[in-house]
Structure 1
Amino acid sequence: MTTIDVFNHNVPAESDFGYSQAIKSGELIHVSGQLALDEAGEFVHADDFAAQLKQTYANLDKVLDHYGVTRSQVVSQTLYVVNLLQNASAAAEGNRAYFGDHRPVSTVVGVTELTFPGQVVEISCVVDADGGA
């Protein structure tokens, strides 16, 4: 029988939208779209791609820490980016800075808008709790 382990940041959006930040099923961790929410669950850094990306990866780190895994165990990620042509270089730079030499598979999707006004990036991923570099 597979054990399910659910993680939340305990921010209002989780109950408002009815979702969890991550669910570990077996050795895979499925992480919901992370975004630039602060400790109180408030959206921060409207229209500032670099600052949002930094906060988004910091929130992803909280999920990884909860499960005792590292960035090198992320096997797949999807980035949703508003104004992709304008933000592509910053997305690539932030991705390289976050993962270093690790190279998960990645899909970048240009979108017209995200949940919050001024939100320009959201990242979801899958993590292998049993693997990693």
Structure 2
Amino acid sequence: MAERRLVSSGTPFEKVAGYSRAIRVGDVVHVAGTTATDSDGNVLAKGDAVEQCRIIFGRIEKALNEASSSLSDVVRTRIFATRAKDCDSIMKVHGDIFREIRPAATLVVVHELVNPEMLLEVEVEALIQ
């Protein structure tokens, strides 16, 4: 049976909700929905979807690294955005990061996230090669 390795970002919400920032099972890493928040849950870069996107992918990269993976291992991204007007700029940031990696990608516009100041949330899956 493959070993389960949990990655925590250290936020109190992980314990409250009973989840991990990421989990590695064998050669697969699943990164939980990630938002642009600080360790106390305060939203960063309010009103700026591009900056929130950059912050989120930085947090995702850190979680992947802690699971002995990297952005180059990403095979799937899922982006949930709250404003359709931000989609082109969000996907440009995605393209800047993943242009050579080319994971399967989904971008969905949703009504709202847990905090209305959160403009997007991103999940990724990676396969360590």
TM-score bracket for this pair, using the shorter chain length? over 0.9
Report what 2:125 is aligned to.
126
Q: In structure 2, what is the Cα distance between the partners aligned to 1:43 and 1:19?
A: 20
Matching of residues 101-112 of structure 1 within 5 Å: 101-112=100-111
AA aligned to 1:15 is K
In the TM superposition, residue 35 of structure 1 has moved relative to its aligned partner by 1.0
TM-score by length of 2: 0.92
Q: How far apart, in 1, do the equivalents of 2:30 and 2:64 lie? A: 11
Asked if 1:97 corresponds to 2:75, the answer is: no
Q: Secondary structure at the match of 1:30?
A: strand
Residue 5 of structure 1 deviates from its aligned partner by 0.1
CA distance in 1, matches of 2:112, 2:78: 15
1:27 maps to: 27
Deviation at 1:107, TM superposition (A): 0.7
Whether 1:74 and 2:66 are equivalent positions in the alignment is: no
Q: Secondary structure at the match of 1:20?
A: coil
Q: Does 1:10 align with 2:13?
A: no
Structure 1, unmatched stretches of 5+, are none
Question: 1:23 & 1:67 partners in 2: Cα distance?
Answer: 8
Matched, 1:113 2:122: no
1:50–1:94 CA contact under 8 A, matched in 2: yes
TM-score under structure 1 length normalisation: 0.90
Tell me, yes or no, if the aligned pair for 2:74 and 2:125 is still in contact at 8 Å: yes
Tell me which amino acid in the other structure corresponds to 2:101: H
Give, in angstroms, the shift of residue 43 of structure 1. Answer: 2.3
**Residue in 2 that maps onto 1:43:** 43
Q: CA RMSD in A?
A: 1.4
Instruction: Report if aligned partners of 2:10, 2:39 keep a CA contact under 8 Å in 1.
Output: no
Amino acid at match of 1:16: V
Deviations 1:41-96 (A, max 9, x none): 43212221011111101100111110222211100110001112x01111111101
